[in-house]
A and B are shown apart, each in its own frame.
Chain A
Amino acid sequence: MRPTGIWFQSYAGEASVLQTRRSRLWLGLLGLGLLALPLTAGPWLLGEMTHLFITLIAVYGLFVTVGMAGQINIAQSAFVGVGAFAAAKFAGLGLPFWLVVPAAAVVTGLVSVVFALPAARVRGFYLALTTLAAQIIFPIVILALPMSWLGGLVGMPVPAPDLFGLNLATPTGFYYLAFVFAALAVWTGFNLPRSRFGRALRAVHDNDTAAGVLGIPVTRIKIEAFFAGALYAGVAGAILAYFLQFVTVSSFTLFTSVWYLGMLIVGGIHTPLGPILGVVFVTLVQESLHTAANTFMQSGAFMGGGAVFALSSVVLALCILIALIFEPRGLAHLWHTAVTGFRLWPFPRN
């Protein structure tokens, strides 16, 4: 609900995301805080934040395909990988980084269309299996191609990005690079539901039979849903490639794909706020686990890295289960409930 006393003179104004001065102020403060972070933070925190931003971009892609269009995709990590390898190849050819990122996004989008074609015919569980095939095929293809193309088993080095002579290959540089694209992902993610394409995605999600009869080209929209989702994956992959400075197939696993999906579900699958909350929450849980495990290992030293990996997977599974059982609409819904309650206070929210 909106706070009282706010009136609009245009439908565009009514559709705006930030409707009160206070919300604009908070967002401005958050943005300033994130921009100023490198002044105080060390390289470890900056690296973590860069990772978080990259993950956020990838999860926004899933929001488009899975959340908006309802087309299940458990190969987002493979699509991020396609973006990373495309970026490594383009950067290796000497393209500047501001050209590499969009080019990698488009290449990833086009690759995803191949795997989206089954979505025209199958849905639900069977579509999940089809995208799983994409995830499995990805390393096989990279390894089978000649070494000189995409590096094969060894992988590919990625030259340092520079912007008009400014070297971005520092923790601060990577941080700002990822920040800018994450902000772009958030902005586009919030734009999507307010558009013709976004409504078509939701229509296909809710009732594709009716949508088809009422003039929405369902097959095309499903394929475009994969394409748009993979654009985000491509951007995430390109930035990850620059950040890691070396890409190998082992960085893009089914596990990561499931993590992405888990973050989206925990955050809230149907609103553009979901990816932010989900990624931040799950990353926090993950990192506190790592920290706890490290302390544990230093004191007792009976837990190996494998145990930490297994433990974090178990915790993710718990998070998803708890979200599905108690709040299938995710953290975003809890947030909306809290905001509504605050605005109505002291009257009860029904």
Chain B
Amino acid sequence: MVRESGAILEARDLCLRFAAVEALRSVSLTVEAGSVHALIGPNGAGKSSLLNCLSGFYRPYSGSVLFKGADISGLSPPERARGGIGRTFQGIQTYPSMTVRENILTGFHPRMKGGVFHALFRTPASIRQEEEFATKAEEIIDFLELEEVRHSPVGGLSYGLRKQVDLGRALALSPSILIMDEPMAGMSPEEKGDLARYVLDIRDRFGIPVVLVEHDMDVVMDISDRVTVLEFGAVIADGTPAEVAADPRVIAAYLGGDAETLAEGAA
């Protein structure tokens, strides 16, 4: 288990506006290397907006995003993906017509070589490369326990399995950080438990820090190293799960009457 310390991804004073709606008001966030960092908050608090600013989908009005100390505010999503920011999506965003292994192999695209010519003539070099990356894809399939369905088209799989494929595809990019947008929405308790273990494994075995937006409080309190709470586009609390759960502003804004039980659960 490799635990580095220090900030890997930082957001500084991000402001984002959609017409008259201020989605983010001067939001700052620091993700430490080797941590699971959860973003929580009521609906419309700006959690997804913040994730999309981190992955480059939205351009913030002002403020900057720092990745490994370098300013990446001007980079497009594909450039950030190649730079090492992986992400999974809200809902289903896998490629339904392709098999599980092919979906994962698409994640290797930036690291593989060869264009139209190698594709059409299946050159020896491209066969060797296929061999090499199929082996790597199998490692991910092994990690996510997808062996049974490796050759099944993803379109026919259950919701939970598709989310796992989405995760596998993000891992194939060998990211330095993984951003997950509501990974557990719509999952059964068993699937949530599995995914929570994968998240912890990703942190511990691969040393990849994870930023996640999640609504399931039990999961957040259980697996997070750090929690940031947003409300109306502003950060109202930031700290360990226990600290956050004890924060009166959080209790007032979000956790309501459940605060005591949650604090006990986290302690």
Contacts and interface: CB of A to CB of B under 8 A. Distances in A.
Interface stretch (B30-38, B105-113, B225-233): B105-113
B96 interface: yes
A207 B122 CA distance: 25
Contact of B116 (A10, A15, A224): A224
Interface stretch (B60-68, B76-84, B189-197, B236-244): B76-84
Interface string B118-143: 11111000110111001100000000
Contacts of A188: 120-121
Main secondary structure of the interface of B (DSSP, over half): helix
B134 A196 contact: no
Nearest to B129: A196
Contacts of A10: 131
B57 A213 contact: yes
B127 A12 contact: yes
B155 to A, nearest CB: 9
A15 B86 CA distance: 28
Contacts of B127: 12
Interface stretch (B87-95, B199-207, B208-216): B87-95
Contact of B109 (A192, A216, A227, A228): A216
B188 interface: no
A214 B173 contact: yes
B109 A196 contact: yes
B106 A12 contact: no
A24 interface: no
Interface string A187-213: 010011011111110110111011111
A206 B154 CA distance: 11
A192 B115 CA distance: 10
Main secondary structure of the interface of A (DSSP, over half): helix
B169 interface: yes
A217 interface: yes
B219 interface: no
B98 A11 contact: no
A306 interface: no
Contact of B95 (A192, A202, A227): A202
Q: How large is the interface on A (under 10, 10 to 19, 20 to 34, 35 or more residues)?
A: 20 to 34
B97 A191 contact: no
Contacts of B130: 11-12, 15, 194-196
B114 A214 contact: no
A214 B57 contact: no
B16 interface: no
Contacts of B121: 188, 191
B115 A197 contact: yes
Contacts of A199: 98, 102, 105-106, 109
B239 to A, nearest CB: 30
Nearest to A228: B116
Contacts of B86: 214
A33 interface: no
Given A197-B114, A202-B97, A214 B170 contact: yes
Contacts of A202: 95, 97-98, 102
Q: Interface residues of B toward A: which range?
A: 35 or more
A200 B106 contact: yes
B176 interface: no
A205 B96 CA distance: 10
A222 interface: no
Contact of A192 (B81, B120, B129, B170): B120
Of B56, B57, B105, B119, most A-chain CB atoms within 10 Å: B119
A211 B106 contact: yes
A280 B149 CA distance: 34
A68 to B, nearest CB: 10
A270 interface: yes
Pick from A11, A207, A224, A270 the residue with the most CB of B within 10 Å.
Answer: A11
B49 interface: no
A64 B108 CA distance: 21
A123 B106 CA distance: 22
Interface string A168-204: 0000000000000000000010011011111110110
A215 interface: yes
Nearest to A218: B78
Contacts of A213: 55-57, 77-78, 81, 87
A191 B116 contact: no
Given A11-B130, A191-B121, A199-B105, 13 more contacts: A12-B130, A192-B119, A195-B118, A200-B109, A202-B102, A203-B109, A206-B95, A210-B95, A214-B87, A214-B109, A214-B173, A224-B115, A270-B97
The 10 closest A-B pairs by CB, nearest first: A197-B119, A195-B119, A11-B134, A206-B95, A188-B120, A191-B122, A215-B81, A215-B110, A210-B93, A213-B77
Interface of A: 10-12, 15, 188, 191-192, 194-200, 202-203, 205-207, 209-218, 224, 227-228, 231, 270
22 contacts: A11-B130, A188-B121, A191-B119, A191-B122, A195-B130, A196-B112, A196-B119, A196-B130, A197-B115, A197-B118, A197-B119, A199-B98, A206-B96, A209-B93, A210-B94, A211-B106, A213-B57, A213-B78, A214-B169, A214-B170, A215-B78, A215-B81
